[in-house]
Amino acid sequence: MKKVFSIISLFTLLLGISGQSNYNLEKLADGFTFVEGPVWVDGKLLFSDIPENIIYAWSKDTGTKVYYKPSGNSNGLALDSEGNLVLAQHGKRRVARLTNDNEEIPLVDNYKGKSFNSPNDLTIDSKGSIYFTDPPYGINPEQEELGFYGIFKLTTEGNLYLLDSSLIRPNGIILSLDEKKLIVSDSQEKKLFVWDIVNDSTITNKRILIEMDKSLEGTTDGLKMGEDGLIYSAGPGGIWILNLDGQVIERIDVPGQTTNCNWGPDGKVLYITSGDAIYCLTIKK
């Protein structure tokens, strides 16, 4: 199917749950199928189009181009300490690293000999350990081997730990700024959960951070932590901004099914994947 991409410079929306113009939302490009996993790399925004098996790159100067194909139906993307792209791959049911030479290196594809469901989203801590979620969105029920949907941690030494298997559909995942708390969204329940991190293999004190408005279309999905210590969550209706106590600071409407977000290089512009389009959100505070 032929794609048509557009860069829209005059389409600016002033949005906010209170109707105030603290945020500028701008559509950057559209015409995709279902986008996810934004990450800013070397002057361009990379993001996954899961069904199309492509990672795209967008920049203001060049528009949208294919960056990597086939992507293994990648979903979440992140950068390691060496600047390599780390992919949660639905199609290959694994977490892999893409080197700067476009060499794809598998990192982990099973737990105790059983294949993952379809690794969905991930975050990397300051030591290089990878936390990731493993719901079944990329596979059929008869392909499931584990019998649960886990939250995992892969250390730099190659040790894999199952941290939790209690969520119905674990999805977005982040760490607090001090890396003492783990926050994960359950997309079926429309809830965010938080745990205290004890060590590499153990998290404890599971509790609900927030249950989002189930009357709104969409679900809880990708998460990012801001430099301000606030959580920026893709959720029903758009982007939810909340603190670690679960208090909602703002909800910003975004067209389409909002799936994920990530910061640009200055930490002031939030790039958003939603439905068939990508957006940027400038915070004017």
Ramachandran area for residue 75 (φ above 0: left; ψ -120 to 50: alpha; else beta) = alpha
- Whole-number Å distance between alpha carbons of 24 and 273: 15
Contact at 8 Å (CB) between 21 and 255?
Answer: no
The pTM for the full model equals 0.91
- Whole-number Å distance between alpha carbons of 152 and 222: 16
Ramachandran area for residue 169 (φ above 0: left; ψ -120 to 50: alpha; else beta) = beta
Residue by residue, DSSP assigns 33-57 as: SSEEEEEEETTEEEEEETTTTEEEE
In the chain, what percentage of residues exceed pLDDT 90?
85
The DSSP secondary-structure symbol of 267 reads: S
Q: Three-state SS across 51-70?
A: CCCEEEEEECCCEEEEEECC
CA distances from 46 to 61, 85, 111, 164, 279 (A): 14, 10, 29, 29, 12
17 has a pLDDT exceeding 70: no
Digit-coded pLDDT (tens) for 18-33: 344 578 999 999 999 9
Domain coordinates in residue numbering, the chain = 12-195+213-222+258-283
CATH number of 12-195+213-222+258-283: 2.120.10.30
Mean pLDDT along residues 86-108? 95
- Whole-number Å distance between alpha carbons of 263 and 267: 5
195 has a pLDDT exceeding 50: yes
10 has a pLDDT exceeding 70: no
pLDDT given at position 9:
28
CA distances from 9 to 38, 276, 282 (A): 20, 18, 14
Average pLDDT over the chain, rounded to an integer: 91
Digit-coded pLDDT (tens) for 121-165: 999 999 999 999 999 998 999 999 999 999 999 999 999 999 999
275 has a pLDDT exceeding 60: yes
Collapsing DSSP states into helix, strand and coil, what is residue 210? strand
pLDDT given at position 284:
73
Residue 45: CB atoms within 10 A of its CB come to: 24
- What strand order describes the sheet that includes 122-124? 122-124, 130-134, 150-154, 160-164
pLDDT given at position 217:
86
181 has a pLDDT exceeding 90: yes
pLDDT given at position 285:
60
